[in-house]
Each structure stands twice: as structure tokens, then as C-alpha cells.
Amino acid sequence: MPVLTSGRFWRMGQRAIWLPIILGLLAILAIPAPVLAATLVKAHFFWRAECPHCRDMAASLDDVSAADPDIVIDRYEVSRDPAGAREFARTVERLNLPPVVPIVVIGKEVMVGHEPGAEARLRDMIRICRSGPCPDLVAISSGKPASEPVEQPQAPPVAYSPCGD
């Protein structure tokens, strides 16, 4: 009967130990990293040059995005830019929103108007986007059918009235 400590059987045992370790590491490396895919967040900001609440919202967005470089803000000026006005009209119609500014859309979350504590609400919207499915509803409103309904958040009363037309 062969002895397990003999050279041939010992080398075979070493290979048998390393094989599952190497296969396990390869399996871990093959798993996609969903956290990396979900870090980039797109915010859509509809505003009007004459609107003081829009300036406040722009400052809030700038403060939040300065602290988080993985936020991309698409800005749509709706009173002077025809393309921005078209995108605004499509978005408010598709998402059943009031035609007022400022409006920020991040994933399924929408904020209409600017209120005290807007930075905290924006950070919450970003967190919600990163924690689950985050469809780009503004891109969807440009022609693709929506895959999920928009849930309008129940916000506290707005301290500032949004700027209407």
C-alpha cells in the first residue's frame, strides 16, 4: 500500500488543495459589481432664467454635486432654449407634473419647487436611485415606453411657490 507522505502522493495533494482556491477566486472575479454600475446618477434640472426659486435649486444641486463627483446634472432652460422647452413639455406631460419650474428628476423621484432642506431631499433622491432600479424617466419621456410608474413623493408643504408660466 502506498504511503501518503511519499513524493508523488504529496504533490498530488498540494494540487488538490490549490485547485478549489484558484477556482473560487476566478468565480469571485467573474461576478459583476452592481455597486460600481449604480454609482453614477443622472439628475435632470428644469429651470427658467427669471425664476428666483430656480436659482436657489441650482445652488442646492451645485452643493450636492460638489460633494459627489458621480452626479451628472442635465440642465434644461425652458423659457429661452427651444430644445429645453420641448424636453420640459414632454417630461411634464409624460410624468403628469405641473408645468412649473424648478423641477428635478432623479430616477423615479421628482422634486417640484425649491424648499428649505432641498439638499437633504436631493441626497435622499440620489440614495434611492443608487439603492435600486433607477430608470431615466426623462429619457423615457423622449419616446421610449416607461417600464415603471412614477411614484410622486408626499413632500411637506412647499415654503416657496414654484415659478409658473
Q: What pLDDT does 28 receive?
A: 58
Domain boundaries, the chain: 1-31, 35-141
In terms of CATH, what superfamily is 35-141? Glutaredoxin (3.40.30.10)
Q: What pLDDT does 164 receive?
A: 64
Phi/psi of residue 49, each to 5°?
A: -60, -35
**Which contacts of 76-85 are long-range, i.e. CB under 8 A and separated by 24 or more positions?**
76/44, 76/45, 76/46, 76/47, 77/47, 77/48, 77/49, 78/46, 78/47, 78/48, 79/48, 79/49, 79/50, 80/49, 84/46
Model pTM score: 0.67
Place of cell 415606453: 145
Please give the average per-residue pLDDT across 25-38, as a whole number. 49
Please give the average per-residue pLDDT across 77-88, as a whole number. 96
Q: What pLDDT does 132 receive?
A: 87
Half-sphere exposure of 121 (CA within 13 A, CB side): 20
Q: How confident is the model at residue 152 (pLDDT cuts 50, 70, 90)?
A: very low
Q: What pLDDT does 162 receive?
A: 64
Q: How many CB atoms lie within 10 A of CB 39?
A: 13
Q: How confident is the model at residue 142 (pLDDT cuts 50, 70, 90)?
A: low
Bridge partner list, 47: 77
Better-predicted residue by pLDDT, 124 or 22:
124
CB 104 within 8 A of CB 43: yes
Of 51-65, 74-88, 118-132, 151-165, the range with the lowest mean pLDDT is: 151-165
